[in-house]
């Protein structure tokens, strides 16, 4: 995430994808268009419908477009989600997965004062294709921890904390059991921490962290961890702050950045104009911050907060009866010019 505006005009790759992906994308772009920023949107296909139509779920043109754009907004992919997103992450070397955990009013969070970021390493750990195989006894998976990738993600977490006025970074591992691999993670964590003397550094075991997230989530600012632990803790974080319609995410890499809601294509409600577009909008806000458009990001987020506080135009998942676009119009009307 940047501290200052990076350009005067941005090319954004827009991949609405399947199901409600299209609807929440339309809603988010409707609000983005009302901000005083020059965006060139270039639309591209990916996902189930794309597979049906073109014989591939992720055409090379879509990958090239994402590579050549300042950022990508991604809606949702159905059955092909894993192939599409995993491939984009690999091709673009998107090493950081960011999942903010924040409680908003009228959304049923377990606590009202949660606001932290989970920074997950996305390229190694236990989730690398080809590192799992059958053996005579059963199956085996290798967990890879490299100095380069872990230093990069830990440094990203500290930099994020510094640029976003967060006071503390918590490194999460299991070094008491995984003495070599997570021992190395812990060692690198404190090496990197020493380069950021103004930011408090602490480390916890992953099992303790899973409990603290429930008992004292307000004590976290930024959590940084390896691939599998980050995957699990991110979903625990989502459970702390209400439904799927509210959780955004970012994938950041050396060759590109992609912003997407955590939810999928929700075929059960697709095409009915009743999906909650807030997760997509919050993903667009993460993109604005990545581009250094912090003022616009704050304006957009404040408008969403106002709509949630007023609670007059909420979608069904939040107990209201508004349509996707009614909620979007309400957000737009609450922007400050």
Catalytic residue flag (residue 274): no
CA distance 262 to 285: 14
Q: Which residues, other chains included, contact 38 with Cβ-Cβ below 8 Å and sequence gap of 6+?
A: 8, 9, 10
Which residues are bridge partners to 76 per DSSP? 17
Q: Residue 193, Cα to own-chain centre: how many angstroms?
A: 24
Catalytic residue flag (residue 18): no
Question: What is the x/- site pattern for ligand ATP, positions 132-171, by CB under 6 A?
Answer: ----------------------------------------
Q: Is 241 helix (H, G, I), strand (E, B) or coil?
A: coil
CB of 101 to ligand ATP, least distance (A): 17
Q: Which is nearer to ligand ATP, 23 or 150 (CB)?
A: 23
Q: Interface with ligand ATP includes 276 (CB under 6 A)? A: yes
Catalytic residue flag (residue 182): no
Q: Interface with ligand ATP includes 266 (CB under 6 A)? A: yes
CB of 150 to ligand ATP, least distance (A): 30
Q: Which is nearer to ligand ATP, 157 or 327 (CB)?
A: 327
Which residues are bridge partners to 102 per DSSP? 115
User: Are the C-beta atoms of 301 and 285 separated by less than 8 Å?
Assistant: yes
**For residue 296, which of 111, 101, 69, 36 has the smallest C-alpha distance?**
36
Q: Which of 10, 70, 104, 127 is catalytic?
A: 127
Q: Which of 33, 36, 112, 207 is catalytic?
A: 207
Is the C-alpha dihedral spanning 302, 308, 314, 317 positive or negative?
positive
Is the C-alpha dihedral spanning 147, 148, 154, 158 positive or negative?
positive
CB of 107 to ligand ATP, least distance (A): 12
Q: Interface with ligand ATP includes 269 (CB under 6 A)? A: yes
E strand map for 237-303: 248-252, 257-261
Q: Which of 231, 290, 317, 332 is catalytic?
A: 231
User: Are the C-beta atoms of 94 and 251 separated by less than 8 Å?
Assistant: yes
Q: Which is nearer to ligand ATP, 82 or 214 (CB)?
A: 82
**For residue 149, which of 117, 175, 179, 127 has the smallest C-alpha distance?**
127
Q: Which of 174, 186, 313, 332 is catalytic?
A: 174
E strand map for 206-309: 222-225, 248-252, 257-261
Instruction: Determine the interface stretch with ligand ATP among 2-10, 109-117, 259-267, 288-296 (rule: CB under 6 A).
Output: 259-267
Q: How many residues bind ligand ATP (CB under 6 A)?
A: 18
Q: Interface with ligand ATP includes 265 (CB under 6 A)? A: yes
Q: Which is nearer to ligand ATP, 255 or 271 (CB)?
A: 271
Catalytic residue flag (residue 134): no
CA angle 167, 172, 178 (to 5 degrees): 155
Q: What residues from 70 to 99 belong to the interface with ligand ATP (CB under 6 A)?
A: 76, 78, 81
Tell me which of 57, 101, 188, 275 binds ligand ATP, using CB under 6 A: 275
User: Are the C-beta atoms of 203 and 189 separated by less than 8 Å?
Assistant: yes
Tell me which of 70, 293, 317, 326 binds ligand ATP, using CB under 6 A: 317
Q: In this structure, what are the phi and psi dihedrals at residue 144, rounded to the nearest 5 degrees?
A: -100, 125
Catalytic residue flag (residue 127): yes
Task: Output the residue with the shortest Cβ distance to ligand ATP.
Answer: 264
Supply the residues annotated as catalytic.
127, 174, 207, 231, 235
Interface residue list for ligand ATP (CB under 6 A): 20, 24, 76, 78, 81, 244-245, 263-269, 275-276, 279, 317
């Amino acid at each position: 995430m940047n501290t200052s505006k990076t350009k005067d005009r941005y090319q954004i790759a827009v991949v609405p994808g399947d199901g409600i992906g299209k609807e929440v994308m339309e809603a988010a772009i409707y609000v983005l268009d009302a901000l005083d920023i020059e965006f060139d949107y270039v639309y591209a296909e990916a996902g189930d419908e794309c597979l049906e139509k073109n014989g591939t779920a992720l055409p090379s043109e879509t990958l090239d477009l994402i590579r050549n754009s300042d950022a990508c907004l991604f809606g949702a992919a159905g059955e092909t989600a894993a192939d599409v997103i995993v491939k984009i992450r690999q091709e673009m070397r998107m090493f950081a997965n960011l999942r903010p955990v924040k409680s908003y009013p009228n959304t049923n969070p377990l606590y009202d004062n949660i606001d932290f970021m989970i920074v997950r390493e996305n390229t190694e750990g236990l989730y690398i294709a080809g590192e799992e195989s059958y053996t005579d006894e059963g199956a085996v998976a290798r967990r890879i921890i490299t100095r380069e990738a872990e230093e990069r993600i830990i440094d990203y977490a500290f930099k994020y904390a510094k640029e976003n006025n967060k006071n503390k970074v918590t490194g999460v591992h299991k070094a008491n059991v995984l003495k070599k691999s997570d021992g190395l993670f812990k060692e690198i964590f404190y090496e990197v921490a020493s380069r950021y003397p103004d930011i408090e550094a602490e480390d916890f075991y992953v099992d303790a962290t899973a409990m603290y997230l429930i008992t004292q989530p307000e004590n976290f600012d930024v959590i940084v961890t390896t691939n599998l632990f980050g995957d699990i803790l991110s979903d625990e974080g989502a459970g702390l702050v209400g439904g799927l319609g509210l959780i955004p995410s970012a994938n950041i890499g050396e060759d590109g950045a992609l912003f997407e809601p955590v939810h999928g294509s929700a075929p059960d409600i697709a095409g009915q104009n009743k999906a909650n577009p807030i997760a997509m909008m919050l993903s667009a806000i993460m993109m604005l911050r990545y581009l250094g458009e912090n003022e616009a990001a704050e304006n957009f987020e404040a408008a969403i907060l106002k709509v949630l506080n007023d609670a007059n135009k909420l979608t069904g998942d939040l107990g209201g009866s508004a349509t996707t676009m009614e909620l979007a119009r309400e957000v737009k009307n609450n922007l400050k010019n």
